[in-house]
Homo-oligomer: A and B are copies of this chain.
Amino acid sequence: MSDLTTQQRPTRQRSALLEALANCHDFISAQDLHARMTAEGTRIGLTTVYRGLRDLEAADAVDVIQASAGERLYRWRPGDSHRHYLICRACGSSRPVDSEVVEEWAGRIASDSGFAAVEHTVELTGVCAGCQPATE
């Protein structure tokens, strides 16, 4: 179960899911991803999308953020590079941010507090340049 060598068949749906996600450079919800794939002609069930995303999350291949009402947004993570993003509240676009400082800080908190297995979630939101009202 925790074994990465667990057999996993490369199916049409799984490939399509990976491709769709890789082509999407912003965070997207399972529902939206399914809708987009369907619109593009890929026949795939919503359940399969959810399952695929869950697997990718378990494999640490995607970054995940919590949207408002329990909705989760996923974003493909190329390599092991980024984990934290700055997201535009208006258009939804996201850009990775350098979070070294925060990583360090989290590590320090962990050792100072006596807590074990400390994990952190950091979400930055704002309004990107393109979405800001022209009004001064």
Contact = CB atoms under 8 A, between A and B. Distances in A.
Interface of A: 66, 69-71, 86, 88-89, 95, 97, 101-102, 105-106, 109-110, 113-129, 132
A57 to B, nearest CB: 12
A86 B101 contact: no
A120 B113 contact: no
A123 B120 CA distance: 6
A101 B102 CA distance: 8
Contacts of A105: 101-102, 105
Contacts of A121: 121-125
A102 to B, nearest CB: 6
Given A70-B71, A123-B121, A116 B132 contact: yes
A126 B132 contact: no
Contact of A119 (B66, B119, B125): B125
